[in-house]
Amino acid sequence: MSRIEGVLQTLRSQGRKALIPFITAGDPHPDETVGLMHTMVDAGVDIIELGVPFSDPMADGPVIQLASERALKQGTTLRRVLAMVSEFRQSNDTTPVVLMGYLNPIEAMGYEAFADAAIEAGVDGVLTVDLPPEEADKVAPLFAQRGLDPIFLLAPTTTDERIRAISGHSSGYVYYVSFNGVTGAARINVEEVAARVAHIHELTALPVGVGFGIRDAETAAAVGQVSDGVIVGSVLVDTIARNQADIEALKLALTDLLNPMREALDSLAS
C-alpha cells in the first residue's frame, strides 16, 4: 500500500476528508520550501502537492505562472525539487508528497532516472498536467512499478470512456478540475461538482480530490461534502507572493488560511 493510499484509507475510515495544498517549489526561495511544507503539515494538511516550476505552465493562471517565474529565477530545477523532498523526509516520513507539473522536465531527465530519483527522495505520486492517458501506456506503468502513484486530471467535459481509461492508469487518487479554465480563474459551482463527482464515483473506485476555485473554509467544506478531498492552490500561492519578504509572516498567513479549512472539513466527519 502506498503512503497516499494509506492516508486516504485512514481518513475514509474516520469519515474525514483530505486537505491537499499546492505550492510551487522554490517560491519564494528554494531555501524556504521545506519550512513551508512543515508549516502546512502543522496546520493539518494530509497530502502535499509540490509544483515543479516550468517555463510554459499552460494549465495555470497568472498567480501560479508568476510563482513558477520566481522559482525559476532562483534556480529551481527538477533535481533541486527532489532534494527538497529528500530534506523534508529527514523529519517527516508520513505525509505523502505529490510532484505536480509538466512532462518536459521529466523527459529531459529521463523517465527511469526520474522515477528512481523520485522514489529515493521520498516522492509518493506524480501528476503531469500534459500527459494524456493515450500516451501514458509506458510512463504510468513505469512509475507504478517504482512505487510512484500516477495521478491524472479529470475535467467537467471528460467522457465516461476517458474517465475509465484515466482511472485504469491512475492510483492514489484522481484530481477533478472543478471547472474548465486555468487555475484561479473562477468561483466554484458546488452543485455541478457534486453531480459530477458522484458520477465519477460510479466509474472508478479511486478517491476523488477536487481542485480549482477553493479559496476559504466555506468553499472547502462545501466541496468536502461531495468529494474525498479538497485541493487548495492559487489562494496559497497568492499568499506566498504577498508575504514573500517576511517568511515568518508568510508561515502565519498560510496557517491562518489552512487551519479554518481543516476545522471546516473535520466538522463534516461522520
Q: What are phi and psi of 223, to 5 degrees?
A: -75, -35
State yes or no: is 137 an active-site residue. Answer: no
∠ at Cα 236 (121, 25), nearest 5°? Answer: 30
pLDDT at 181: 46
Instruction: Tell me: pLDDT of 101 over 50.
Output: yes
Whether the per-residue pLDDT at 180 is higher than 60: the answer is no
Residue 162 to residue 7: CA distance in whole angstroms: 27
Q: Which of 5, 60, 149, 228 is catalytic?
A: 60
Q: Are 66 and 109 in contact (CB under 8 A)?
A: no
Q: Determine which one of 49, 124, 149, 228 is catalytic.
A: 49
The grid cell for 255 is 496557517
- Enter the DSSP assignment of 20: E
Proportion of the chain above pLDDT 70, given as a percent: 95
Kind and range of the H or E run holding 221: helix 217-224
Distance CA 34, CA 32 (A): 6
Segment 58-77 mean pLDDT: 88
- For residues 233 and 199, the answer to whether their CB atoms sit within 8 Å is no
202 among known catalytic residues:
no
Number of domain units in the chain: 1
**CATH number for the domain harbouring residue 14:** 3.20.20.70
With a CB cutoff of 8 Å and minimum separation 6, the contacts of 112 are 142
Q: Looking at residues 19-38, what average pLDDT do you find?
A: 97
- What's the domain range around 208? 3-267
